[in-house]
Structure 1
């Protein structure tokens, strides 16, 4: 898909990977709907895009509920009239205050609601939005390498991302059925605010500290680059692209 002239919606775009992807898509010529539950972060992303000469609008939305997804997509279409690209990126971690297995059930439910249900519902809403103009579209979901193996100190997060990976692969058939390509990016450790949210929001969790010692974190712009590739390559559907730092492992698809 050619990105210039298209309308893209990016969730969790108030910081980190979402912000980097929103900015990159705007530079590629897309109009971008910046979605986040954090109004200050989302509005800052819009300001950054505008300062760079791009076009964007902020929509505050909670992707962890059916009502939030529905209103987010309605608002996005009111702004720019249509949608062509949806990046289901919003995600949270359980954290260690307290962590697993003592985390409140409400927090466990929230992680699954945002990370997994938000992606599934966001993809469903994207297909419906694409049907309105009949040209198909592209969905990119943010998974994680945590979904490829055990993460003992936050198994809820790992499970939520494993679900995203299998959901994405299972949506490969939408290319033939709906002219909708669904792919996912599965990053390694990225230099974003979610690192601190493994702990209390101001510092990383103690269990993560050994992994951070000497680690070279990926810049979020590297993930944005891969998201653009997944959007542009019309042959890709059901692809899960793993992006690791070169010192750890080369990027791979599957």
Structure 2
């Protein structure tokens, strides 16, 4: 259990990918801090990990607010002595039903601040402690295949995910001298609802033959943050069952 002496922060850990990532690290012996805006979901996720024999703590956090990110990281370092791994997972989609012409600056700012600015702020704060560790630290940012391709009326979300991808290589170069790796994962269709309700066509359209699961992303996080994989930094790992490599033309 190579994570037995590691402290891990996972943002947006109350549901979906974040919850699976937190559980995966806890199962490998890590002390996991689950940062989540929804208190009920965050506490439930932490309690489930604890019931399974893992070490978890829920800390409420709105990642769109700088002061709450600073407090989250400071609390983790004070409670556990340091921060070893940060998984920047928290994010929102376009919280509106209007199209391109109705997208307001306020909504744009909310999406960019929650999704992209939070990645910079959380990494900045965590790196202050990681650089003091004998073996540095590791950061994984959750981007999206939407940083590479789009559907209509997703400008704010696409911009935020593109920013995360660019921030990843920028921070990797900056923090390399401090022994900190920074990578990002760009998931495609990862089903966080009832997997059994998916249609056959949903699976068959993927070259891999199935829709993704949160655990697919969790395993990638474990890989990217393993100490022996510290030669991997500034990378963007697309995990989408091959969809972004598939040429699709309408008949």
Check whether TM > 0.5.
yes
In structure 1, distance between residues paired with 2:64 and 2:234: 23
Deviations 1:68-97 (A, max 9, x none): 211111122233221100001101011443
Match of 2:234 among 209, 234, 238: 238
The 10-residue stretch of structure 1 (160-169 or 184-193) with the greater mean CA deviation from structure 2: 184-193
In structure 2, distance between residues paired with 1:136 and 1:175: 10
Deviations 1:189-216 (A, max 9, x none): 11126xxxxxxxxxxxxxxxxxx99323
Aligned counterpart, 1:47? 47
Deviations 1:86-125 (A, max 9, x none): 0011010114433443244322211100110001111111
Aligned counterpart, 1:220? 214
For the pair 1:60 / 2:60, whether they are aligned, the reply is yes
Mapped contact 1:174–1:182 kept (Cα < 8 A): no
Moved over 4 A (4+): none
**Aligned-pair CA distance for 1:153:** 1.8
**Aligned-pair CA distance for 1:171:** 2.3
Mapped contact 1:168–1:183 kept (Cα < 8 A): yes
Tell me the TM-score normalized by structure 2. Answer: 0.85
**Aligned-pair CA distance for 1:4:** 2.4
**Aligned-pair CA distance for 1:46:** 0.4
The 10-residue stretch of structure 1 (25-34 or 92-101) with the greater mean CA deviation from structure 2: 92-101
For the pair 1:152 / 2:152, whether they are aligned, the reply is yes
In structure 1, distance between residues paired with 2:96 and 2:192: 18
Query: 5+ residue gaps in structure 2?
Result: 194-198, 204-210, 246-251
1:111-130 aligned within 5 A = 111-130=111-130
Aligned counterpart, 2:25? 25
Q: How many residues align?
A: 231
Mapped contact 2:2–2:28 kept (Cα < 8 A): no
Query: 5+ residue gaps in structure 1?
Result: 194-211
1:57-206 aligned within 5 A = 57-174=57-174, 176-192=176-192
Mapped contact 1:57–1:79 kept (Cα < 8 A): no
Instruction: Describe the shift of the 1:93–1:235 C-alpha distance in structure 2 as closer, same or farther (beyond 3 A).
Output: same
Instruction: Describe the shift of the 1:30–1:99 C-alpha distance in structure 2 as closer, same or farther (beyond 3 A).
Output: farther
Mapped contact 1:174–1:181 kept (Cα < 8 A): no
**Aligned-pair CA distance for 1:149:** 2.4
Deviations 1:218-239 (A, max 9, x none): 1111111111111112210101
